[in-house]
């Protein structure tokens, strides 16, 4: 009962005080520069599948975003890992686990904007927290039970014909139970275009090419570095957005363009994501 109450409390704290990444046309695997109107809110459902060697992870997530002012949006992400599967080297047996991931709360503040006819330039600052909400005694583990902190800045130049985004995100992982995941640096660059002239009353199609570079520092176990962790991988892949009125569907697939991981680690194969946004 106490656990249930604590869970409900955390959920409401997160949803009441958090922030979001869901907005309009944005990078699929990174943050974007769009906020939401004052008093408006958005709901998003997401699905993500990633395959890394013998490892597979399928995740669904719900995002909620609220516009506190025209400059500040707060949001919460509630991820649920449907299936995480790992296979030990030399063994046929695969281990599977499922459960709640790390709840995430974010705030997005619009630092700079310039609006012209059919053009929009924006820069935002994003801060977030990931909470240690993953289940205990899972094999494979669904994540570490530590608090993570996210700092990011995203810029965008959007027109009626094309859009360009750039994002830098740094994730600071804290120590817990003698272990510390390596901090992560993400660089996202994306460019998209509309194949036909835009109209407010027509279905809007937007095609993107998204590039993501992820650098992860070595993890630490009892203050010594784990040489079989960390490295960098660069993903690239197409993304499509389709929207009508206040409904937006997005989908994308990415494969590694180049990869360098330390020690004995599985290499990335591909990742797929799609989501449905509703703005109110």
Partner 1 sequence: MFLCALLVVAPLCFQSAAVKGAAEAVHSGIKEIVIKVKGMICPFCSNALERALKARPYIKQVKNIDLQAGLVDLLIKDGVTMTQQEMETDLATTIKEATFAYDGVEKVIS
User: Which is closer to partner 1, CB of 23 or CB of 262?
Assistant: 23
Cα–Cα nearest to 88, from 266, 271, 220 = 266
Give phi and psi for 166, each to the nearest 5: -140, 135
Name residue, tokens 């509309």. 194
Q: Is residue 257 within 8 Å of residue 235, measured between CB atoms? A: yes
Q: Show the tokens assigned to 77.
A: 């992400």
If binding is defined by CB under 8 A, does position 238 make contact with partner 1? Answer: no
Shortest Å distance, C-beta 194 to partner 1: 9
Q: Tell me the per-residue interface mask from 160 to 189 with partner 1, x by CB under 8 A, - otherwise.
A: x--x--------------------------
If binding is defined by CB under 8 A, does position 195 make contact with partner 1? Answer: no
Shortest Å distance, C-beta 14 to partner 1: 24
Cα–Cα nearest to 273, from 56, 60, 49 = 49
Q: 189-228: b or e for each residue (b if 16 or more CB lie within 10 Å)?
A: bbebebeeeeeeeeebebebebbbbbbbbbbbeeeeebee
User: Which is closer to partner 1, CB of 40 or CB of 140?
Assistant: 40
3-state secondary structure 193-234: ECCCCCCCCCCEEEEEEEEEEEEECCCEECCEECCCCCEEEE
The residue within the footprint of partner 1, chosen from 96, 177, 202, 260 (CB under 8 A), is: 202
If binding is defined by CB under 8 A, does position 24 make contact with partner 1? Answer: yes
Shortest Å distance, C-beta 259 to partner 1: 34
If binding is defined by CB under 8 A, does position 36 make contact with partner 1? Answer: yes
- Rounded Cα distance between 230 and 5, Å, is 37
Segment interacting with partner 1, rule: CB under 8 A, options 175-183, 210-218, 220-228, 243-251: 243-251
Query: DSSP 3-state assignment of 188?
Result: strand
User: Which is closer to partner 1, CB of 151 or CB of 247?
Assistant: 247
Query: How many C-alpha atoms does 279 have within 13 Å on its Cβ side?
Result: 21
The residue within the footprint of partner 1, chosen from 245, 255, 258, 260 (CB under 8 A), is: 245
Segment interacting with partner 1, rule: CB under 8 A, options 3-11, 47-55, 110-118, 138-146: 110-118
If binding is defined by CB under 8 A, does position 248 make contact with partner 1? Answer: yes
The residue within the footprint of partner 1, chosen from 9, 53, 69, 269 (CB under 8 A), is: 69
User: What is the longest distance spanned by two Cα atoms in the chain?
Assistant: 61
Q: Show the tokens assigned to 179.
A: 């272990």
Segment interacting with partner 1, rule: CB under 8 A, options 12-20, 38-46, 216-224, 253-261: 38-46
Query: How many C-alpha atoms does 66 have within 13 Å on its Cβ side?
Result: 10
Segment interacting with partner 1, rule: CB under 8 A, options 89-97, 113-121, 140-148, 264-272: 113-121
- Rounded Cα distance between 144 and 130, Å, is 11
If binding is defined by CB under 8 A, does position 68 make contact with partner 1? Answer: no
Which residues 118-137 are close enough to bind partner 1 by CB under 8 A? 118-120
Positions that interact with partner 1 (CB under 8 A): 24-25, 34-40, 69-70, 110, 113, 115-120, 158-160, 163, 197-202, 204, 206, 243-246, 248, 279-280
């Amino acid at each position: 009962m106490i656990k249930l109450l604590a869970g409900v409390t955390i959920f409401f704290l997160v949803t009441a005080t958090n922030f979001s990444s869901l907005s309009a046309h944005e990078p699929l695997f990174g943050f974007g520069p769009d906020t939401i109107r004052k008093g408006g809110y958005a709901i998003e459902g997401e699905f993500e599948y990633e395959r890394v060697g013998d490892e597979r992870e399928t995740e669904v997530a719900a995002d909620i975003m609220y516009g506190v002012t025209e400059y500040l949006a707060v949001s919460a992400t509630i991820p649920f890992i449907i299936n995480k599967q790992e296979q030990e080297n030399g063994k046929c047996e695969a281990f599977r686990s499922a459960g709640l991931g790390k709840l995430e709360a974010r705030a997005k503040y619009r630092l700079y904007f310039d609006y012209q006819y059919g053009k929009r330039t924006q820069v935002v600052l994003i801060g977030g927290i990931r909470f240690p909400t993953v289940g205990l005694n899972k094999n494979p583990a669904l994540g570490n039970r530590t608090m993570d902190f996210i700092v990011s800045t995203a810029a965008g130049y959007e027109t009626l014909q094309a859009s360009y985004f750039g994002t830098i995100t740094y994730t600071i992982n804290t120590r817990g139970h003698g272990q510390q995941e390596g901090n992560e640096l993400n660089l996202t660059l994306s460019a998209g275009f509309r194949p036909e002239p835009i109209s407010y009353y027509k279905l809007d199609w937007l095609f993107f090419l998204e590039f993501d570079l992820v650098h992860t520092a070595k993890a630490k176990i009892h203050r010594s570095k784990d040489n079989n962790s960390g490295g960098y991988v660069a993903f690239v892949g197409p993304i499509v957005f389709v929207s009508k009125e206040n409904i937006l569907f997005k989908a994308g697939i990415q494969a590694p363009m180049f990869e360098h991981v330390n020690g004995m680690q599985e290499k990335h194969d591909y990742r797929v994501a799609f989501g449905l946004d509703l703005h109110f």
